[in-house]
């Protein structure tokens, strides 16, 4: 009797775990959009990069500014940094491009260096192009100014 | 041996005994056409991408690097092949370039750049040759396709039209001054203007 009971419990646990396993597998495979694992999905069209050369507003003061132009085939590697040929301090007069922020010339300890700091060298770690496309995830980010205004309005009501 | 040369020299200086002047003239003309045609055909055969990437030095390095760039893959399917940028189109300059390029054969024979590391070690020097050449001929190979007179600044991005309509238009700068490394990876750029 005892043995039978154990068997039934084991079966139930197994069935439940299988069911859960299938359910979570479905949830994990979101990036494939339900395409079976043995077939290839049609890739989405590659969106065009914004190339209008118009600065966009920063959403918060510390936000790394977005790149408002195309950067196809720009080398940023051990040999060369194409971004610096316009945005380096000594290049900005000729290029009229914004200089990289002063923090990029500082090392960890806050000492100023003559050249861009190695830890800031790879521009694309923080700065990105913009493409004309839908948001991948819904974003409910609110500008700080909006929040302040909301709160001010609220406290006025009280 | 010496006697043979003396005989040859004597025979060349003597008028023909067996052949008429007509046959010799016509024969010379036909032979000339064949040799000249053959020479140019052979020259053109070396002026193809297939020929260039026949050597693994070119196929594994510069050719692979080019495949991602806009001069190889783009929306309209017009693409540049090696000689479009690296060999002048006019005959005289082409022969001069081909003569200079015969050094590649030396490099091939002695394996100067037969590994990726050796190639990378020489990349700056090789790139400098090309920059100097394009600077000296006012980026002739670029301009074979990209004609300044037909550039529409209104469809260029702001920064492009600004620079093309000033420095390039005035002749202060030429294409290669700004557009280095557009088809292949850049070498170590330390000390190069603009980097």
What does the pLDDT average to over A128-148? Answer: 89
A52 Cβ under 8 Å from any chain B Cβ: yes
Are residues A62 and A21 located together in one domain of the fold?
no
Domain limits for position A125: 47-131
Model confidence at B35, pLDDT cuts 50, 70, 90, reads very high
Which residue in A45, A70, A79 has the most chain B C-beta atoms within 10 A of its own C-beta, making it the best mutation to test that interface? Answer: A79
Neighboring chain A residues of B127 at a CB cutoff of 8 Å: none
Are residues A54 and A87 located together in one domain of the fold?
yes
Using the Cα atoms of residue B188, residue B191, residue B193 and residue B194 in order, give the sign of their dihedral: positive
Cα-Cα-Cα-Cα torsion B182, B183, B185, B187, nearest 10 degrees, comes to -70
Model confidence at A5, pLDDT cuts 50, 70, 90, reads low
**Of A8-22, A38-52, B101-115, B127-141, which gets the smallest average pLDDT?**
A8-22
Nearest CA to A49 among A70, A26, A32, A28? A70
Domain limits for position B38: 21-146
Instruction: Kindly report the CATH number assigned to the domain that includes residue B100.
Output: 1.10.3820
Are residues A24 and A60 located together in one domain of the fold?
no
Are residues B88 and B51 located together in one domain of the fold?
yes
Residue B78 lies in a domain: yes
Residue B169 lies in a domain: yes
Which residue in A77, A85, A90 has the most chain B C-beta atoms within 10 A of its own C-beta, making it the best mutation to test that interface? Answer: A85
What does the pLDDT average to over B27-55? Answer: 94
Q: Which residue of A has its CA nearest to B182?
A: A73
The whole model's pTM is what?
Answer: 0.76
| Total domains, chain B | 2
Closest CA–CA distance from residue B159 to any residue of chain A (Å)? 7
Structure tokens at B76: 């309209």
Give the model's pLDDT for residue A158: 74
Are residues A66 and A116 located together in one domain of the fold?
yes
Are residues A52 and A100 located together in one domain of the fold?
yes
Residue A57 lies in a domain: yes
Most confident of A14-18, A23-27, A39-43: A39-43
A117 vs A35: which has the higher pLDDT: A117
Q: How many residues does this entry show for chain A?
A: 158
pLDDT digits 0-9 by tens, B49-89: 999 999 999 999 999 999 999 999 998 999 999 999 999 98
Residue B3 lies in a domain: no
A139 vs A136: which has the higher pLDDT: A139
Are residues A110 and A66 located together in one domain of the fold?
yes
Are residues B128 and B72 located together in one domain of the fold?
yes
Are residues B152 and B140 located together in one domain of the fold?
no
Residue B189 lies in a domain: no
Dihedral-angle region of residue B122 (phi above 0 means left; psi in -120 to 50 means alpha; beta otherwise): alpha
Are residues A56 and A126 located together in one domain of the fold?
yes
Residue B11 lies in a domain: no
Give the model's pLDDT for residue A10: 61
Residue A154 lies in a domain: no
Residue A155 lies in a domain: no
Q: Which residue has the tokens 């399917």?
A: B77
Who contacts A137 (Cβ-Cβ below 8 Å, separation ≥6)? none
Give the model's pLDDT for residue A136: 79
The enclosing H or E element of A25 equals: helix A2-28
Residues forming a β-bridge with A131: A49
- Supply the Cα-derived Rg of chain B in whole angstroms: 24
Residue A95 lies in a domain: yes
User: Is A66's pLDDT higher than 60?
Assistant: yes
Model confidence at B11, pLDDT cuts 50, 70, 90, reads confident
Q: Which residue of B has its CA nearest to A86?
A: B194
Query: Interface pTM (ipTM) of the complex?
Result: 0.74
Q: Which of the 8 DSSP states describes residue B3?
A: H
Are residues B27 and B123 located together in one domain of the fold?
yes
A115 Cβ under 8 Å from any chain B Cβ: no
Q: Which residue of A has its CA nearest to B193?
A: A85
Are residues B167 and B88 located together in one domain of the fold?
no
| Total domains, chain A | 2
Are residues A19 and A92 located together in one domain of the fold?
no
User: Is A17's pLDDT higher than 70?
Assistant: no
B187, A80: Cβ pair inside 8 Å?
A: yes
Model confidence at A116, pLDDT cuts 50, 70, 90, reads very high
Which residue in B66, B117, B154, B159 has the most chain A C-beta atoms within 10 A of its own C-beta, making it the best mutation to test that interface? Answer: B159
Give the model's pLDDT for residue A1: 47
Residue A15 lies in a domain: yes
Nearest to A73 among B70, B157, B162 (CB): B70
Are residues A88 and A20 located together in one domain of the fold?
no
B188, A51: Cβ pair inside 8 Å?
A: no
Instruction: Kindly report the CATH number assigned to the domain that includes residue A112.
Output: 1.10.1130.10
Residue A37 lies in a domain: no
Are residues B33 and B129 located together in one domain of the fold?
yes
Neighboring chain B residues of A82 at a CB cutoff of 8 Å: 181, 186
Nearest CA to B107 among B85, B129, B88, B92? B129
B28 vs A28: which has the higher pLDDT: B28
Distance CA(A17)–CA(A71), nearest Å, equals 49
Are residues B44 and B107 located together in one domain of the fold?
yes
B182, A51: Cβ pair inside 8 Å?
A: no
What does the pLDDT average to over A6-25? Answer: 58
């Amino acid at each position: 009797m005892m043995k039978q009971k154990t068997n039934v419990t084991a079966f139930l646990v197994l069935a439940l775990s299988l069911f859960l396993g299938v359910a979570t597998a479905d949830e994990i495979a979101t990036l494939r959009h339900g395409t079976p694992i043995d077939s290839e999905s049609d890739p989405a069209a590659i969106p065009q990069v914004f190339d209008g050369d118009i600065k966009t507003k920063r959403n918060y003061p510390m936000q790394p500014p977005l790149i408002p132009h195309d950067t196809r085939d720009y080398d940023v590697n051990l040999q060369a940094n194409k971004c610096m040929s316009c945005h380096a301090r000594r290049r900005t007069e000729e290029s009229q491009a914004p200089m990289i922020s002063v923090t990029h010339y500082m090392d960890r300890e806050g000492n100023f260096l003559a050249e861009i700091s190695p830890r800031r060298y790879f521009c694309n770690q923080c700065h990105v192009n913009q493409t004309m496309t839908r948001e991948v995830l819904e974003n409910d980010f609110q500008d700080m100014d909006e929040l302040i205004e909301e709160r001010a309005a609220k406290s006025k009501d009280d | 041996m010496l006697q043979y040369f003396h005989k040859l020299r004597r025979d060349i200086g003597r008028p023909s005994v067996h052949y008429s002047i007509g046959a010799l003239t016509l024969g010379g003309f036909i032979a000339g056409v064949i040799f000249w045609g053959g020479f140019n055909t052979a020259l053109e055969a070396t002026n193809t991408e297939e020929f260039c990437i026949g050597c693994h030095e070119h196929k594994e390095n510069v050719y692979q690097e080019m495949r991602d760039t806009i001069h190889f893959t783009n929306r309209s399917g017009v693409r540049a092949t090696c000689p479009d940028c690296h060999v002048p189109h006019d005959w005289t300059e082409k022969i001069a370039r081909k003569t200079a390029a015969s050094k590649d054969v030396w490099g091939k024979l002695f394996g100067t750049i037969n590994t990726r590391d050796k190639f990378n070690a020489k990349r700056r020097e090789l790139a400098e040759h090309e920059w100097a050449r394009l600077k000296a001929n006012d980026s002739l190979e670029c301009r074979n396709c990209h004609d300044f007179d037909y550039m529409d600044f209104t469809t260029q991005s702001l920064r492009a039209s600004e620079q093309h309509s000033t420095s390039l238009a005035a002749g202060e700068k030429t294409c290669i001054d700004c557009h280095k490394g557009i088809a292949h990876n850049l070498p170590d750029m330390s000390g190069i203007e603009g980097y």
